[in-house]
């Protein structure tokens, strides 16, 4: 099982783990290592940030390692072209999910199912071509959806998505690179 180096730190929101410049996530089960601050442990971690990483497979056991995770972020993570429900479904405490500049191509309808605490998502600056219009169904706490800088989303996809989220109080920001 691959061991991933984690830098632990305290931030105003709580205790986080940052993974930078790690490559070749190629197994679904991983372990993290790093020196915790004070008496902190994995169960104290509320935020997990991946940046400048390369993914072949997204790990499935993140929720087992960090059971109280509220914030999950992937930024500039090449190879993360697809993400499935099985990668997120155990992260039931998640309130914020950010997958930014990762080359993500498609968002399936069941991707966020079961993430009832989700308040904010960002899929900005990816290569999205397809978004299932039911992706945000059942997410009553969702307040912010960021889809900025996804130039390949079709007009019909945006129309269907807009019709489907009309009854939910949230902000949807769309901007297209030209």
178 occurs within a structural domain: no
Question: What pLDDT digit, counting tens, does each position of 60-114 carry?
Answer: 889 999 999 999 999 998 888 788 899 899 999 999 999 999 999 999 999 999 9
DSSP string, 35-49: PPSTT--GGGEEEEE
Does residue 73 form part of some domain? Answer: yes
CATH no. for residue 65? 3.80.10.10
| 46 within some domain | yes
Number of domains in the chain: 1
Residue 34, by phi and psi: left (phi above 0), alpha (psi -120 to 50) or beta? left
Alpha carbon separation from 120 to 29, 52, 99, 126 (Å, rounded): 26, 22, 11, 17
178 pLDDT more than 50: no
Residue 55, pLDDT above cutoff 80: no
How far apart, in whole angstroms, are the C-alpha atoms of residue 114 and residue 92? 7
In this structure, of 8-22, 80-94, 142-156, the range with the lowest mean pLDDT score is: 142-156
Does a structural domain hold residue 157?
Answer: yes
> Range of 84's domain?
3-173
> Residue 104 carries which DSSP code?
-
DSSP state of 73: E
């Amino acid at each position: 099982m691959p061991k991933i180096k984690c830098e632990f730190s305290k931030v105003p929101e709580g205790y986080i783990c940052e993974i930078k410049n790690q490559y070749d996530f190629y197994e679904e089960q991983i372990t993290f290592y790093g020196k915790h601050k004070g008496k902190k442990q994995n169960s104290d971690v509320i935020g997990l940030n991946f940046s400048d990483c390369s993914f072949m497979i997204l790990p499935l056991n993140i929720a087992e390692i960090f059971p109280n995770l509220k914030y999950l972020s992937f930024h500039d993570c090449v190879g993360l072209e697809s993400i499935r429900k099985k990668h997120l479904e155990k992260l039931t405490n998640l309130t914020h999910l950010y997958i930014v500049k990762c080359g993500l191509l498609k968002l399936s309808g069941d991707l966020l199912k079961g993430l009832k605490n989700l308040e904010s998502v960002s899929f900005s600056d990816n290569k999205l071509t397809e978004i299932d219009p039911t992706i945000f169904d059942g997410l009553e706490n969702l307040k912010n959806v960021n889809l900025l800088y996804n130039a390949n989303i079709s007009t019909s996809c945006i129309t269907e998505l807009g019709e489907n989220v009309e009854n939910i109080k949230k902000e949807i920001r769309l901007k297209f690179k030209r």
